[in-house]
Amino acid sequence: MPDAMLTTLRSVEPVAADDRHVLSVLVENHYGVLSRVSGMFAARGFNIDTLTVCETEDPTMSRMTMSVIGRTVVVDQIRKQLEKLPEVIVIDDFTELGPFVERELALIKLRPHGMEERSNLLRVSMHFDAKSVDATPDTVTFELVGQAEQITHFLAMATKDAEVVEIARSGVVALGRGRVGQRERFLEEAIGCG
């Protein structure tokens, strides 16, 4: 199957790689919530591409940022299932909502094929603003922060001169653009409805 095509567990039809959705889910910050959310995904056969969880500016809430690949109808099913969980406060699909900022951190350990390739690798890293954070006589480890596509492009360029020893990626973190945050918008909408 071509790289640009993926298959979800709910949909046997191939899904284009640009059918990626970034969801931001505010949840109650207590024990077991991550397990319940990931259990819901597993029980219904949904796949999470990346998942990042952290406490928010309000210590009673956590933000789960997840990227999922699927057609809008599949993502709508995911959203409806998440809304049924009592710990879920609000869900935003940034891909549908509007402009947002997203970043991912990657640590990439590479083994250059030779000294010339090591030099080429350092030039490539400068082009992508990747920082060399560790080096041995045989390997170089880079830190790269950017959009997932930027990390993928860096890997494509770097692997011309080196083999990948290992990679660790954080998963996507994202925030909507604009002056109002997700929690504030939710509270404004709740007060407006009451």
- What local confidence, expressed as pLDDT, does residue 16 receive? 53
CATH number of 5-98: 3.30.70.260
Q: Give the type of residue at 115.
A: M
**In the chain, where the domains are located:** 5-98, 101-173
CATH fold match for the domains 5-98 and 101-173: yes
The hierarchical CATH code for the domain 101-173 is 3.30.70.1150
44-to-13, 114, 174 alpha-carbon distances in Å: 17, 48, 25
Give the pLDDT confidence score for residue 74 in this predicted structure. Answer: 84
- Confidence (pTM): 0.75
Question: Which token pair is 46?
Answer: 């949904």
Rounded to an integer, what distance in angstroms lies between the CA atom of residue 128 and that of residue 181? 30
pLDDT per residue over 64-75, tens digit each? 999 988 888 888
pLDDT of residue 12: 36
Which pLDDT does position 10 carry in this prediction? 34
pLDDT attached to residue 5: 31
- In this prediction, residue 70 carries a pLDDT of 84
Q: Within the chain, which residues score under 50 in pLDDT? A: 1-15
